[in-house]
Amino acid sequence: MWSSPIGGSGRELSPTARPRRSREEVERTKRRILEAALDLFNSHTYAEVSMRKVAARAGFSPAAIYNYYRNKDALYLDVLRSGFEMLHRSFLDGLDPEHPAAGLRHMAYRLYEFSRSHPTCYDLMFTLPVPKYLDYVGTDMEATAFDEKTVAVANFHLAEDVIRAGVLKGEFKQDLDPARAALTLLAGAHGVISLARSGVLAELGLEDEAAYAAVMEQLLRQLSAE
């Protein structure tokens, strides 16, 4: 039941005249580029990041990076896409169609774990003021941006599907709107994560993980049919 709508990668890989590299070599090189880009996007504004800087951080010549990405936007969108794919796989791992309520709790805690394990990526995906799909509408990057957006919103739609299944099984209140309920959970989760990351929870004398659990359990109880 919980299947992923995420299809092919849609990544930007330009053909070259060089001898064909193995898939493992290509993926290993792209990971180095993505990690370098992610680090720069998190520590600099979008405008300050350049392909030359990414190449230098990854240990490549400026020209070499264009064998993998045609411009900064293509690279940036692939960074985002990779993060949302990783999060989606994390959500899917452990979902049980027979127990939607437990599945929704699983997703809530996986989001928190993702924010702790991949803080730089999380900030780029959810926090920093970086370009989104609407910024690319009408440009030659619109299709690539839409592809990334499709992957991103798949996570939200998955939460909606789990909530909808919970309503049908009688685990959640019958009058729930799945989209609003999913948005409420996301807002609550991101709010606590942001307060933890900014140090506000510590100033309040609260422990990050305990505070997150308390808020999530409160929100989940509000959805419950019991």
How is residue 4 written in tokens? Answer: 């992923």
* In a shared domain, residues 168 and 59: no
Domain at 88, CATH number? 1.10.357.10
* Number of domain units in the chain: 2
Report pLDDT for 202. Answer: 97
Q: Is 67 exposed, middle or buried (0-12, 13-18, 19+ CB in 10 A)?
A: middle
Q: Does residue 22 belong to any structural domain of this protein?
A: yes
Domain-ending residue, one of 69, 85, 110: 69
Q: Does residue 9 belong to any structural domain of this protein?
A: no
Tens of pLDDT, residue by residue, the chain (226 residues): 565 545 444 444 444 445 567 888 888 899 999 999 988 988 888 889 999 999 999 999 989 999 999 999 999 999 999 999 999 999 999 899 999 999 999 999 999 999 999 998 999 999 999 999 999 999 999 999 999 999 999 999 999 999 999 999 999 999 999 999 999 999 999 999 999 999 999 999 999 999 999 999 999 999 998 7
* In a shared domain, residues 37 and 78: no
Domain-ending residue, one of 37, 54, 69: 69
Return d(Cα 58, Cα 187) in angstroms, integer.
Answer: 35
Report pLDDT for 19. Answer: 53
* In a shared domain, residues 49 and 77: no
Q: Does residue 111 belong to any structural domain of this protein?
A: yes
Show the DSSP H helices in the chain as ranges: 23-43, 51-58, 72-92, 100-117, 119-122, 133-136, 142-168, 178-198, 200-203, 208-223
Helix (H, G, I), strand (E, B), or coil: what is residue 48?
Answer: helix
Return d(Cα 28, Cα 54) in angstroms, integer.
Answer: 16
CB 13 within 8 A of CB 26: yes
Reported as half-sphere exposure (CB side, CA atoms, 13 A), residue 104 has a value of: 31
* In a shared domain, residues 58 and 118: no
Domain-ending residue, one of 48, 69, 90: 69
Report pLDDT for 20. Answer: 66
Contacts of 23 (CB under 8 A, 6+ apart): none
* In a shared domain, residues 19 and 117: no
Domain of residue 31, residue span: 15-69
Q: Does residue 5 belong to any structural domain of this protein?
A: no
Q: Does residue 191 belong to any structural domain of this protein?
A: yes
* In a shared domain, residues 123 and 41: no
Nearest by Cα to 214 from 195, 129, 199: 195
* In a shared domain, residues 87 and 135: yes
Domain at 43, CATH number? 1.10.10.60
CB 90 within 8 A of CB 114: yes
Record the pTM. Answer: 0.85
Report pLDDT for 225. Answer: 86
* In a shared domain, residues 58 and 166: no
* In a shared domain, residues 133 and 81: yes
Q: Does residue 49 belong to any structural domain of this protein?
A: yes
Scored b (16 or more CB within 10 A) or e, 156-171 reads eebbbbbbbbbbeeeb
* In a shared domain, residues 162 and 94: yes
* In a shared domain, residues 134 and 91: yes
* In a shared domain, residues 146 and 181: yes
